[in-house]
Amino acid sequence: MLYHGSCHCGRIAYEVESEPVTRVIECNCSICQRRGHLLFFVPRANLRLSTPEQDITTYTFNAERIRHQFCPVCGCGTFGIGTDPHGNEIAAINARCLEDIDLAALERQPYDGRSI
């Protein structure tokens, strides 16, 4: 399924190819808790940016394993880039930034990112 996503102001726009999103991770780490991210993961190759990468701001913290991507204009956290345990590049997509998705229908799986 092809999803379209963007930040609030539209400066960051992308497409992501995924199975239908029915389940998301609700992490309690310091950034996800504050920003309210609802995440699902896809191979990095399944994320196609419509925005030049230089227009996106990156934030890393703690172990710096995830590059949190956000809009420098509206501040919306759209996705993150990292690697899975096998070394494959993955994208953590914030479902709240997708068009035409029913957030209330998503199953939320708690994840204790705070303790990692």
Q: Which has the higher per-residue pLDDT, 53 or 96?
A: 96
Is the confidence at residue 30, as pLDDT, over 90? no
The DSSP output letter for 37 is -
Please check whether residue 24 lies inside any domain of the structure: yes
Instruction: State how far the Cα of 52 lies from the Cα of 48, in Å rounded to an integer.
Output: 10
> Does residue 84 form part of some domain?
yes
**Structural domain for 44, as ranges:** 2-111
- Closest CA relative to residue 103, chosen from 41, 40, 42, 38: 38
| Residue 116 counted as domain residue | no
Rounded-to-10 torsion of CA 102, 103, 107, 111: 150
Give tens-digit pLDDT for 6-28.
999 999 999 999 999 999 999 99
Q: How are strands ordered across the β-sheet holding 2-6?
A: 2-6, 13-17, 47-49
pTM attached to this predicted model: 0.93
- What are the counts of helices (DSSP H) followed by strands (DSSP E) for the chain? 1, 10
What is the predicted pLDDT for the residue at 52?
Answer: 93
The pLDDT score that the predictor gives to residue 29 is: 87
Of the pLDDT bands very low, low, confident and very high (cuts 50, 70, 90), residue 96 is: very high
Beta bridge partners of 80: 68, 92
In this prediction, residues 23-35 reach a mean pLDDT of: 91
What is the total count of domains within the chain?
1
> Is residue 7 assigned to a domain?
yes
CATH number of the domain where residue 49 is located: 2.170.150.70
